[in-house]
Amino acid sequence: MASVQFLSGKRILLVIAGGIAAYKSLDLIRRAREHGASVRAVLTAAATQFITPLSVAALTEDKVYQDLFSLTDESEMGHIRLSRMADVVVLAPATANILAKLAHGLCDDLATTALLAADKPILAAPAMNHRMWHHPATQANLHLLTDRGVRIVPPTEGSMACGEHGIGRMAEPADIIGAVATLLADTGCPETDGIPPADGRLRGRRALVTSGPTREPIDPVRYISNHSSGRQGHAIAAALAAAGAEVVLVSGPTLLPDPPDCRVVRVETARDMLAACQTTLPRDIVVCAAAVADWRVESDATQKIKKGAGGPPVLHLVENPDILATLAAPGPDRPTLVVGFAAETETVLEHARAKRVRKRCDWIVANDVSPATGTFGGTMNTVHLLRGDTVDSWPPLDKDEVARRLVAAVADRFAAATVDPG
Ligand code: CTP
């Protein structure tokens, strides 16, 4: 069994179904969080007969998700994204009913829909009457699920709430926690060096994130832009929101869904992006992850430029405003912490150091965006965090994990402030 240290920094989506063992899931949440994991919970309607959403919310320090057809649940965090934002899905207690639904692809509520849409490993801790456990239908469903890769933490033997004795009691939370750690290790979820998640630690802080490319028009049908996907900026916005910050994400055109719990302002050009950012001030935290186009056409054509006898047009470019440098400039609205990115293709650290000084930002995240690295448009990133003279070089990580680490560092920075920076 993998060490429970492995849980540190991991995100668990916990689906709680309706069984008497649901009370043990409260202890499961507590233990998972003690080991440094964050837990987001989905309750079935039946689960709320056994435990209250309020106690789950208090223990997870997060909103509890219950209703597939709730406008707020679905607009804040669609059922598809619930598992996207997790490293592992834990179904505990797993009743005979929910196991049957999962085995046969039924999804008539948020819990079963989130399970069917899950793209992460699933671990189920069954709990039911011993006759239901031994029933051929349940056993067949379990075989189907294990064949598909769902990991089962078997129930134990003992006296049951119904007064009978047999196999069917949900495994103890400590054993489920151990099994989650093993599953994460077996499925190659990266170690997080024991960096705790920042959940709740940025509550009350206001953050602004820029993300994606900008588009600078040449004429009504053509523009200048770049390959930025917005993945890193969006992941940072999501991680800041998950840490409790009130987040505004100002994004250039991307194909990404809005990150949960963020106010998203969509813009096209660098000048629009700057204006949108300035209207959000004052802010405590600013992270400029956008790949802003450095130049725009001085005067874009109002009609489509036609090919003509004069040959290709000559575009006269002018420099765009520097959003990061503008926001980081001294002044009454200067945010407490301004973080920039340095997208480089050579002498990464040297250029990044110079950029941090030139733009007057507090920290800079340097990354190599040479085509060979696959960073632009890809899911992985290899970054160095420069804070003053300190350089932390992180291994190649998923962009969500880079975001999580960066936000943990931001939370540490605010926790360390002796004077309330707000
Ligand atoms: N940035 C910005 N506004 C611009 C250009 C860049 O806010 N007009 C920000 C980016 O969001 C990033 C940082 O400045 O946080 C560095 O961006 P980068 O593209 O690496 O550098 P440039 O300023 O464009 O400099 P160069 O092209 O010389 O590398």
**pLDDT tens, 337-363?**
999 999 998 999 999 999 999 999 999
**CATH-assigned architecture of domain 4-186:** 3-Layer(aba) Sandwich (3.40)
CA–CA gap between residue 338 and residue 359 (Å, rounded)? 10
194, pLDDT greater than 60? no
Bridge partners, 263 (sequence order): 248
What pLDDT was estimated at residue 192? 55
- Measured from the Cα of 289, ligand 1's closest atom is 11
Please answer whether residues 292 and 269 qualify as being in contact, where contact means their C-beta atoms are separated by less than 8 angstroms: no
E-assigned strand segments in 240-325: 246-251, 262-266, 285-288, 295-297, 317-319
Of the residues 228, 337, 355, which should be mutated to test ligand 1's pocket, given the most ligand atoms within 8 Å of the CB? 355
Mean per-residue pLDDT, 40-62: 94
189, pLDDT greater than 80? no
CA–CA gap between residue 293 and residue 161 (Å, rounded)? 64
Mean per-residue pLDDT, 181-196: 71
Mean pLDDT for all residues in the chain: 90
E-assigned strand segments in 121-205: 122-126, 151-152, 156-159, 165-169
Mean per-residue pLDDT, 409-417: 86
What pLDDT was estimated at residue 205? 96
Of the residues 208, 234, 323, 376, which should be mutated to test ligand 1's pocket, given the most ligand atoms within 8 Å of the CB? 323
Please answer whether residues 325 and 360 qualify as being in contact, where contact means their C-beta atoms are separated by less than 8 angstroms: yes
CA–CA gap between residue 42 and residue 134 (Å, rounded)? 27
- Measured from the Cα of 293, ligand 1's closest atom is 8
Domain 4-186 and domain 206-300+314-417, same fold? Reply is: yes
For 158, list phi and psi in degrees, rounded to 5: 165, -175
418, pLDDT greater than 50? no
91, pLDDT greater than 60? yes
Domain residue ranges in the chain: 4-186, 206-300+314-417
Please answer whether residues 403 and 409 qualify as being in contact, where contact means their C-beta atoms are separated by less than 8 angstroms: no
Looking at the chain, the whole-number percentage of residues with pLDDT higher than 70 is 92
CA of 321 relative to ligand 1 center, distance in Å? 10
E-assigned strand segments in 299-421: 317-319, 337-344, 363-368, 380-381, 383-387, 390-393, 397-398
Lowest-pLDDT choice from 36-40, 96-100, 208-212: 36-40
400, pLDDT greater than 90? no
Between 102 and 34, the more confident residue is 102
Cα atoms in the Cβ-side hemisphere of radius 13 Å centred on 178: 8
Supply the residue whose CA is at minimum distance from atom 3 of ligand 1.
Answer: 322
What pLDDT was estimated at residue 395? 83
Lowest-pLDDT choice from 180-184, 238-242, 378-382: 378-382
Of the residues 211, 294, 326, which should be mutated to test ligand 1's pocket, given the most ligand atoms within 8 Å of the CB? 294
Between 260 and 268, the more confident residue is 268
Query: Which residues, judged by CB distance below 6 Å to any ligand atom, belong to the binding site of ligand 1?
Result: 210, 270, 288, 290, 292, 294, 320, 322-324, 340-343, 355
What pLDDT was estimated at residue 420? 45
252, pLDDT greater than 80? yes
CA–CA gap between residue 58 and residue 64 (Å, rounded)? 9
Query: What pLDDT band is residue 84 in, cutting at 50, 70 and 90?
Result: confident
CATH number of the domain located at residue range(s) 206-300+314-417 in this protein: 3.40.50.10300
What pLDDT was estimated at residue 421? 42
295, pLDDT greater than 60? yes
- Measured from the Cα of 210, ligand 1's closest atom is 11
Query: What pLDDT band is residue 28 in, cutting at 50, 70 and 90?
Result: very high
What pLDDT was estimated at residue 349? 94
Please answer whether residues 153 and 122 qualify as being in contact, where contact means their C-beta atoms are separated by less than 8 angstroms: no
Cα 185 versus chain centre, distance:
20
Mean per-residue pLDDT, 378-396: 88
* pTM strictly above 0.75: no
Phi-psi region of 261 (alpha: psi -120 to 50; beta: other; left: phi over 0): left
143, pLDDT greater than 90? yes
For 344, list phi and psi in degrees, rounded to 5: -125, 160
CA of 34 relative to ligand 1 center, distance in Å? 40
Closest CA to 150 of 81, 86, 83, 91: 91
Closest CA to 273 of 210, 348, 360: 210
Query: What pLDDT band is residue 50 in, cutting at 50, 70 and 90?
Result: very high
316, pLDDT greater than 60? yes
What pLDDT was estimated at residue 334? 97
CA–CA gap between residue 112 and residue 239 (Å, rounded)? 25
CA–CA gap between residue 235 and residue 209 (Å, rounded)? 10
Query: What pLDDT band is residue 308 in, cutting at 50, 70 and 90?
Result: confident
Which run of H or E residues covers position 217?
strand 216-219
Residues with a known catalytic role: 162
Angle at 31 between CA 85 and CA 116, to 5 degrees: 35
